Amino acid sequence: MDGNGDGRRDIWSSAPDALASAANLLAKGGWRRGEGWAREVILPAGFDYGLAEGPREAPSWWQAKGARRADGRTWRDADAAAPAALILPSGAGGPAFLVFPNHFAIRAYNNSIAYALAVGLLADGLTGGGPLVTAWPHETPLSLTERLDAQTALARLGFNPGAADGVVGVGTRQALRAWQRSRGMAADGYLSPDMVRRLRAATSGGG
């Protein structure tokens, strides 16, 4: 988009053009003016983590299940009426978020939870938002072999993660939640090194 009115669209050397183009992309992705993109929430003990990446319900629905805003504030009218999904980007041990349609508008460009969180949290910080209440835990990156082994193990155990491609997407997370639930674990769908070890042991007869 031509944001500075010079008749050219130059996202590389014109900040107005870059910002206008980004705004245009968000608008085409379904951005809803007046609504937030996500809020950190605190979940109670015994919460059903299997609800992550599942139903999209109003914040009052999640509140009835024990989720509360981490900052202790009440919901704005626009957000209170918007459908929200729960995401647990680093599992049950990390911060939890209720994400609104604008979160998915960000993902229209890059369908990655990490990408959308980075964009949204950076924007919040630029507009005066404070740090997260729940600290981000230390995370150990998984190798391609570990990710492939986990997907292969889930398939062998009867929990379909989709194609074994090494990409831990929603299909893999849903399959992992189902397997975790079958074992009585917190069904957060988070593929940690410990989960990889457990899956390998389950397919080798060790667990």
In a domain, 83, yes or no: yes
Within-domain flag for 76: yes
- Judge contact between 103 and 26, C-beta under 8 A: no
- 122-132 as b/e: b if 16+ CB within 10 A: eebeeeeeeee
**pLDDT tens digits, one per residue of 8-40:** 999 999 999 999 998 999 999 999 999 999 999
Q: What is the pLDDT of residues 25-82, one digit of tens each?
A: 999 999 999 999 999 999 999 999 999 999 999 999 999 999 999 999 999 999 999 9
Rounded CA-CA distance 79/55 in Å is 16
Residues 120 and 46 reside in one and the same domain = yes
Q: List the domain range (segments joined by +) for residue 198.
A: 144-203
Q: What is the predicted pLDDT for the residue at 4? A: 87
Number of domains in the chain: 2
Give the DSSP per-residue string, 84-139. BEEE-TT-TTS-EEEE-HHHHHHTTTS--HHHHHHHHHHHHHHTT----SSPPPP-
